[in-house]
Amino acid sequence: MQPWPTEVLEERAGEIAVGFAALLTRHAAWRHRRVETITVLSHEQVRRSVSVDFTVPLEHRDGLRLSEREWIVPLAFLAKRPLVNFDLLAEDEAAIPLLRSEESQLIARELLYLMLDLEADVQEDVAPLIEWILAATADEAAALDEAVAELEDAHGPLPGFAALAQQLTRGFLLCAVVDDTARRRVIKFAYDEPLGRPGRSVHFYDAPGCTEAASYHAEVAVPDEMRARSTELIDNVTGAVLATGRRDADRPAIHFVADVGLRVEPGLSVRYGTERGRFLVPAALVAWVMALGLALPWLFADLPALAASGGPAITILLSSSAVFSGLVLRSGEHALVRLVLAPYRLCLAAATAAVVVAGGALAFHGTEALLRWTWGLGALVAVLSAGILTVEAARAPAAAQDR
């Protein structure tokens, strides 16, 4: 059996690194299009599905050759973290091989030496730095600048090495082994990733791939009952908005073409909102019913006389419990929907609690002063809750069929 990949890769790593250097310094010349779909799994995790459309230039195909029928292609840089639920597929959905971490590091090491282009004795001096770069975690990336600055003080500017070292400190090369480079290919990969800065309604997704191809397309698969109020591709360095998507979309899309040589740290910022008709409108209506049910008797009814009969109080208690259960204790909701709706459910819960307390005071024949206070405060709480829910319902996006 042919000794692939470690034995052959050790012999070919230098030549493959030369091919990689030519490809990684001009992404747009051979990666035609990169398409990403971000599926929201929860407020803390997404699944990223990526397809890379590329053609390996003829002059570099031999440099990438691993064996007679195998070529190694650098698809992307991925953040240094374990790959969760990772898939790597060809155009026909067939699984294709992937270089393991230690195997891709063989090529990355040769790439770093290639970018240095220093004498042999100097390369021995920088060997510890290169090994540190390959082993570093993303949290240690800040320490790299000082080490590279010392190296440049001694040997002059090393822009290619510095840029590659930054990428390899924060991430690693995703390298696929393909059986044909003589035609245009589309390779797909997907994985789950955590969110570094999860929020309740605004999420930020890294988008380093927007500069790794001639054309970049991204879309977000928004959970049911939600809409993306706004979608923006933003440069983390300058804060500039690079591209925007359609407002109030259930699958917002971004298209971006990077300028040659553009240095950006892009990210996709998405602000979510729930559809008004699913929870907010019914909750606002119910809250107003509760508010009127408390305010009108407090203003016009003889509460001590009502306390003589338990019927009204029991009706209030039972109806409030039923409404609360129907709107708040819903099963099967997406985790992000639950998170976004949490404060509005608290408003409804506050109105329900006000009704329950007022009904309890009536049922237990409270004094006139107690009845006036509980029903008055309950009416105030219910009105405020209903007002908040009404404002949020008016601001919320409509469902797709309503627009």
3-state secondary structure 16-39: HHHHHHHHHCCHHHCEEEEEEEEE
Inside any domain, residue 328 = yes
| Angstrom distance (rounded) from CA 211 to CA 55 | 17
Q: Are residues 157 and 225 in the same domain?
A: no
Q: Are residues 364 and 388 in the same domain?
A: yes
Domain containing 233: what range? 195-273
Q: Are residues 253 and 307 in the same domain?
A: no
Inside any domain, residue 190 = no
Query: Three-class SS of residue 334?
Result: coil
Which of 71-75, 319-323, 348-352 has the largest mean confidence? 71-75
pLDDT tens, residue by residue, 210-254: 888 889 999 999 988 899 999 999 988 788 898 999 999 989 999
Q: Are residues 25 and 67 in the same domain?
A: yes
Q: Are residues 146 and 252 in the same domain?
A: no
Q: Are residues 219 and 353 in the same domain?
A: no
Q: Are residues 300 and 206 in the same domain?
A: no
Instruction: Tell which residue, 240, 249, 180, has the closest CA to residue 210.
Output: 240
Q: Confirm if 291 and 378 have CB atoms less than 8 A apart.
A: no
Q: Are residues 354 and 398 in the same domain?
A: yes
Number of domains in the chain: 3
Q: Are residues 268 and 221 in the same domain?
A: yes
pLDDT tens, residue by residue, 192-215: 998 866 677 888 888 888 888 889
Q: 262-285 burial, b for 16+ CB within 10 Å, e for fewer?
A: eebebbbbbebbbbbbbbbbbbbe
**Looking at 158-172, 238-252, 301-315, 348-362, which range is the least confident one?**
301-315
Inside any domain, residue 332 = yes
Q: Are residues 282 and 330 in the same domain?
A: yes
pLDDT tens, residue by residue, 283-339: 888 889 888 888 888 888 777 776 666 555 555 554 555 555 455 556 567 888 888
Q: Is 156 left (phi over 0), alpha (psi -120 to 50) or beta?
A: left
Q: Are residues 208 and 318 in the same domain?
A: no
- Please indicate whether residue 8 or residue 50 has the higher confidence score (pLDDT): 50
